[in-house]
Amino acid sequence: MEFWQSKNWSLSSIKYIIIDHYKVLLLFAVITYIIAWSTIDILRMLNMMDGVFDSGIISLTLNSILFDHTPQYMEYMIGFSLLRILFSPLILIDGIPGMLVFQEIFLGIPAFVIYGIAKIKTKDNLTSFLISTSYLLYFPLAGINYFDYHFQSFFIFFFLLAYYLFLKERYALSSISFFLSGSVRFPYFGFPYLFFLMLIIYEIIKNRNKININSKKIRFLEVNFIIFLLMIIISAILLFKSPYYLDQKKYFFGYFHLSSSSLMKTLLSNINNKVINLLLLLTPLLFIPLRSPKWLIFLSPFIIFSLFNNYGVYTYPSLYHDQYTAAVVPFLYLGLIEGIRIYPNDSSGKERNKKKQCKLDIAVALKKTTPYLKERKEPISLFLVVVLFAVLFQPYSPVNPYTTEPFDMDIMHPNMNVYNAYIETTNLIPENNPYVIYQNNLPYVDVHDRALSCLEAFDTVYGYPTNLTYLLQNLTMTNKIDYALAYYGTTAIPLNMLNAMNTLYSKGKYGIESSEYGFVLLARNYKNAPIYFKAIEDNYNLKVINYQNSSILEIPFNLLVPSSYNLNINLNTSTVQLETYKVEIISSGQKSYDYNLSPATHNGGGLNLLFNINRFYENGYLQVYMTKNLTNEMANVTLSEQKL
């Protein structure tokens, strides 16, 4: 109260009030960021949009360590992602939802670290605040947030924290953070190794023959240089000799998504999108990171890799929907901090501070802030441009649906019946049964199943085997399948999964244990009625095709499973002859089955046809042949499934 009662208000007093609130404002921004993105993540999960690659596979890590801890598996995991082992207990917090929220926390708190680094480098609170807040709005981060849970997302926090601790000369904690940043995934240990290599070279050039080899800083640099060089070598050895891959050459090219084409051919391929890709990374930051040669060296590997790689996720627009920008965001912002410029009118304000402070009222004090803001026109411009790009590209922006390859944000009203059916169905699978195959958008199965038996994984890595032989996580090849789970919902059943379900069902050894809301669970030797059953039933907009004196009714469907069906055709006329002689099922552009049927019961203009099918169909239509010309207005159709 004493301050407000005083009439001795000055420019420095007003600035003190504003500066004192920067950290509070940043705290509110980070909390909002975490809550908003966590909400989006949970809604995506409830809408069945989370994937086995990567949320599900990572969620099974702890069980894999506890139960399938073969030497080969542990060697592979240590070489591939040591952090994945260290963070595997996160699944115990709240399953996949808990991991997703934890990821958002670690993607939000780097804003505080950026603020701390910026204050050390720029010695200006407003500039530091604008840079750190722009991080939260920087749209290339959206893909990391929007993507499934992924260990690469932790790289941003640990590398930035390591550098901040290094600046504060807290070397032991800095080393630990650098180690955690490199352990997120191979070959990320290369970044801390490069950092210490550059510092050693800098010290040699700067001091030449005057280096004190016994100094704390020099010992710190030498020890860490050796540690991270060894970690790169050890990780590479463990990975390249891993029996999880057929040979080193296939592993190397598959892991890095490299091509055997000539360098020039690879560079020129899709060159427009590659250039757009780099422009979208740098333009929101006004190309300021390019002013820092040190951090430009760290950006170079990603720039070169994206230019000489034809894997779609590294280029526009897919890059901004995935997790791969985690490899460049820390260096973009470190380069931004070192490259940002403040334009003081008088020696960074030192002369102004020496002048005698006049007693000013509040209006005069606010007016005097004009040169203060003018001197910071670059950080202010940066923030405004980042906001502009956020309006265009962030998933939560109303403009986003009109940008190239927009995010699917139709997630506000999840069907909880569908999600509960998902949980019910997967809970029918015994927890320790590894003989399960399923499709990519069913990550919850992985919590039950410690085997990497997602069929898409094997289709990608090994090719789709016609006999459904697949590799368990303990490196045992098997063709034993106790359960097969498919889902038709937000995405169609992958062709390989549909083929697998039909292959298994045709053997006669599998029964449908559950069929509800698009989920179908096949179980070996199951002969009873489904435990969970929700009949496929819908009204369809049919298409009528007339020729001569007959009509063909085309009735589209999304999914048909082996079952009995009642096809009810309501005819809005009493003059049609109710004689039906054939029903065809057309799926994937091919005629699959003919069903020759006798005339069924009818009431007035209605016709009921009962028929059975013995395989899975998706995205097709029924064709019903009638013996009289019809119009679209003369008939409507209901197709309903009967419980087996």
On whether both 609 and 523 belong to a single domain, the answer is no
Q: Is the residue at 292 inside a domain?
A: no
- For the stretch 61-67, contacts whose Cβ atoms lie closer than 8 Å and that sit 24 or more positions apart, written own/partner, are 61/85, 61/88, 61/91, 62/88, 62/89, 62/91, 62/92, 63/447, 63/450, 64/450, 64/473, 67/432, 67/450
The 10s digit of each residue's pLDDT in 9-41 is 455 555 555 555 889 999 999 999 999 999 999
CA distance 548 to 130: 74
CA distance 427 to 513: 12
On whether both 528 and 631 belong to a single domain, the answer is no
List strands edge to edge, sheet with 483-487. 436-438, 483-487, 519-524, 510-516, 532-533
Q: Which of 144-158, 195-209, 518-532 has the lowest mean pLDDT?
A: 195-209
The 10s digit of each residue's pLDDT in 507-565 is 889 999 999 888 899 999 999 888 998 877 655 566 777 666 677 777 777 778 888 87
Give the residue among 327, 115, 297, 339 at the shortest CA–CA distance from 199.
297
Mean of pLDDT values over 333-339: 96
On whether both 443 and 466 belong to a single domain, the answer is yes
On whether both 500 and 593 belong to a single domain, the answer is no
pTM for this prediction: 0.82
Q: Is the residue at 529 inside a domain?
A: yes
On whether both 549 and 487 belong to a single domain, the answer is no
The 10s digit of each residue's pLDDT in 62-95 is 777 777 677 777 888 888 888 888 888 887 888 8
On whether both 510 and 433 belong to a single domain, the answer is yes
Q: Which domain holds residue 500?
A: 416-533
- Final residue of a structural domain among 477, 502, 533: 533
Statement: residue 223 has pLDDT above 70: yes
Whichever domain contains 557, its CATH number is: 2.60.40.740
On whether both 427 and 526 belong to a single domain, the answer is yes
Q: Is the residue at 366 inside a domain?
A: no
The 10s digit of each residue's pLDDT in 606-632 is 667 777 788 888 777 777 776 665 555
Q: Is the residue at 454 inside a domain?
A: yes
Per-residue model confidence (pLDDT) at position 607: 67
Q: Is the residue at 323 inside a domain?
A: no
CA distance 405 to 389: 15
Number of domains in the chain: 2
Per-residue model confidence (pLDDT) at position 493: 58
Burial class of residue 507 in the structure, from the number of CB atoms within 10 Å of its CB (0-12 exposed, 13-18 middle, 19+ buried): exposed
Q: Which residues contact residue 587 at a Cβ distance below 8 angstroms, ignoring those fewer than 6 apart?
A: 617, 618, 619, 620
- Final residue of a structural domain among 491, 512, 533: 533
On whether both 597 and 506 belong to a single domain, the answer is no
On whether both 428 and 494 belong to a single domain, the answer is yes
Q: Is the residue at 39 inside a domain?
A: no
- Final residue of a structural domain among 499, 533, 567: 533
On whether both 422 and 458 belong to a single domain, the answer is yes
Q: Is the residue at 543 inside a domain?
A: yes
CA distance 179 to 231: 9
Per-residue model confidence (pLDDT) at position 304: 86
Q: Is the residue at 425 inside a domain?
A: yes
Task: Say what angle helices 125-137 and 377-393 make with each other, to 10 degrees.
Answer: 10
Per-residue model confidence (pLDDT) at position 444: 67
